[in-house]
Structure 1
Amino acid sequence: MKKIILALVAVLTAAASTSALAWPRSFVNVDGSTTTITAQPTRVLSTSVTVTGTLLAIDAPLIASATDAAGGFFGQWQKVATERSIKKLWPAGSVDLESAYLEQPDLIVVSKSGADSALNQIKELQSIAPTIIVDYSTQSWQELAKQLGEALGSEKQVEKTVAEFDLLVAKAKTQLNLPEGKANIISYHGAGVTNAVAKPEGAHALLLAALGFQLESPDPNWHTGPAFHSDFLRVNYEKLTQLTAETSFLLEATDQRAQRLMSDEVLQNLPSVKNQQVYGLGENTFRVDLYSSKEIINNMLKRFGS
């Protein structure tokens, strides 16, 4: 018995020593700078509501998060955030540094891009706690999760979560009988305003590609406006008439809402409209994380499952 106890103590001591040796650690930010994280974070503050979804998915010790522009959390993980008592901070685009300070975080997460980016306040945030910068627009949520796991010291947890999801995607792919031809993803708002088309390298397109779709790539010359995004191309409404994919998915939409595009007289010659293959990607699909990805997969299985 004594030998067993001594062996157990040795194992625990070794584990503790290994954990201690992991800190401090350096995190390479997306802008090439480096953040030193002195100890494993226990109070994480997210300045990006988009990144918050992935932090929740990997069970990060999240205490507070910025919200969307309307002051809410995304519908796909609202329940999870409530269960974990995640405090709502400022709306996207309105960083409140005093609120961040009062939360006493030991790690702050900032997004490089998007309307929920707090990059302009990076120096002030760095004076509150170690601050890392990530970019969710040019990679899958799984890759983002792996980066966050490095900063949190939760690589094994992240590896398990990602592996389970990748298995779900692989299984779903074998069960889908997809329509022929290419597909596109449209953020459709109608005439008189800017619309958007997903780029192949964006998170939405990457998920559909993993499920077996071939994505149409919009012409970069269609871009309009001063803002450039890595995941979607902002285009004038008239450019939508030049899309050629046989199937279209509408961002943040159910199949019922997709009928609005189907009824648009200007877009009647789109191949996807002629094929009667315009679908909603899902009501909670504005951003891609574990939760919205599962919604998209479930919708695809209901629609194209064999």
Structure 2
Amino acid sequence: MRVAQLRRFGALIIAAMVLAIPAWSGAAAEDGWPRTFVNVDGSTTEIPKKPERILSTSVAITGPLLAIDAPVIASASAGNGTFFAQWAEVATQHGVENVWPAGTVDLEAVYAVRPDLIVVAASGAGSATDQIDAFRQVAPTILVSDGNETWQELATQLGKASGLEEQASAAIADFDAYVADAREKITVPEGTANIISFHGPGRPNQIARAGGAHASLLTALGFTMEDPDPAWHTQANNRGDFVWAPYENLVDLTSQTTFLLQVDDSKAAAFLDDPVLANVPSVRTGQVYGLGVNSFRIDPFSGREIVDGIVAKFGK
């Protein structure tokens, strides 16, 4: 066969191959699917299409998913078998099924809800990393961190996995605007502030670090946050959000204002009336407040509750 004929023959083959490419392949590339998600452990997960049925295996992740309008069809709950109170009503409105409490996994429920994306937390009471291989037999499964990250950082990652980047950005912008508006409405007390999960003697008392989600929220409201000494930490792994401190170290805190996690103002008396803490500056000034009953985990729902509580306390 002559060279010219070979060239014409090759051109016909290439043309036939182009015509044989399915019409959907160009559309899939155009709208970004499939896409590869980089998990927190460095592995990757291919997500073939935009998810329509998401299973959250950690109750801590479900709040940010709901905030970006992700199609959550099922979620694990807290250890007591209930959803977090700050978004439980929203979950009910969306028909989110409660599949199991933290600390357990029901693989039959995984198959029953027919997810097309499963989200797993890398740590915490709701982590189900030991079942991740089983999950991946059912649907694409991603692994995210919900420890030191803010809900905004988590929402950004979840937006990438679900194709809801715009919704994630909008949710973050709306929340930031809400906080900025609240800052203009309050008069911040003089001096520094700290945040404590108070349990008394015999147990660690978590103190929020300046770079963590809780302290960052109060910083955005205009407070100057005290950073606890990392050397007080009693756990094996250091964290960027909290120091697990012995009860005795609470007397070394210097802030004039203290906020207590998971309680309202009615429960502040336990801290104010503790005789060992009588000389703590915030006790001497009487400036000890509950941060809110849903304040332990900050998501966009509990975050707004905290902001509203701050405005109610310190409004101009």
Whether these two folds match at TM > 0.5 is yes
Matched, 1:142 2:152: yes
The match for 2:101 is 91
TM-score (norm 2): 0.88
1:67 aligns with 2:67: no
1:219-238 → structure 2 map (5 Å cutoff): 219-226=229-236, 228-238=238-248
Report how far residue 232 of structure 1 moved. Answer: 1.6
**Which sits farther off after the overlay, 38-47 or 233-242?**
233-242
TM-aligned CA deviation for residue 234 of structure 1 = 1.2
Matched, 1:153 2:152: no
CA contact (8 A) 2:45 2:140 kept: yes
Partner amino acid for 1:209? T
Structure 2 residue 247 is the aligned partner of structure 1 residue 247: no
Q: Secondary structure at the match of 2:224?
A: coil
SS at match of 2:85: coil
Structure 1 regions of 5+ residues with no counterpart? 1-15
Partner of 1:189: 199
Read off the aligned partner of 1:221 and give its amino acid letter. Answer: A
What's the CA shift string for 1:175-227, capped at 9, x where partnerless?
22101111111000112222211122221111111111111111111111446
* 1:36-70 deviation line (CA, Å, top 9, x unaligned): 10000000000110110111111110001011000
The TM-score normalised by the length of structure 1 is 0.91
**Contact 1:228–1:234 at 8 Å: present in 2 too?**
no
Task: Give the Cα separation in 1 of the matches to 2:103 and 2:282.
Answer: 36
Partner of residue 303, structure 2: 293
CA-to-partner distance for each residue in 1:116-148, whole Å, 9 max, x for gaps? 111222222222211111122222212211111
Note the residue ranges of structure 2 that are not aligned, 5 or more in a row.
1-25
Shift of 1:243: 1.2
1:107 deviation in Å?
A: 0.6
Q: Does 1:215 align with 2:217?
A: no
Question: Counterparts in 2 of 1:120-139, with a 5 A limit?
Answer: 120-139=130-149
**C-alpha contact (below 8 Å) 2:28/2:34 kept by paired residues:** no
Q: Is the Cα contact below 8 Å between 2:148 and 2:239 reproduced in 1?
A: no
Alignment of 1:201 onto 2:195? no
CA RMSD, 1 decimal: 1.8
Structure with greater Cα Rg: 2
Note closer, same or farther for the CA distance 1:18–1:167 as it changes in structure 2 (3 Å cut): farther
| Structure 1: distance between partners of 2:185 and 2:102 | 38
Aligned counterpart, 1:282: 292
Report sequence identity in percent: 52
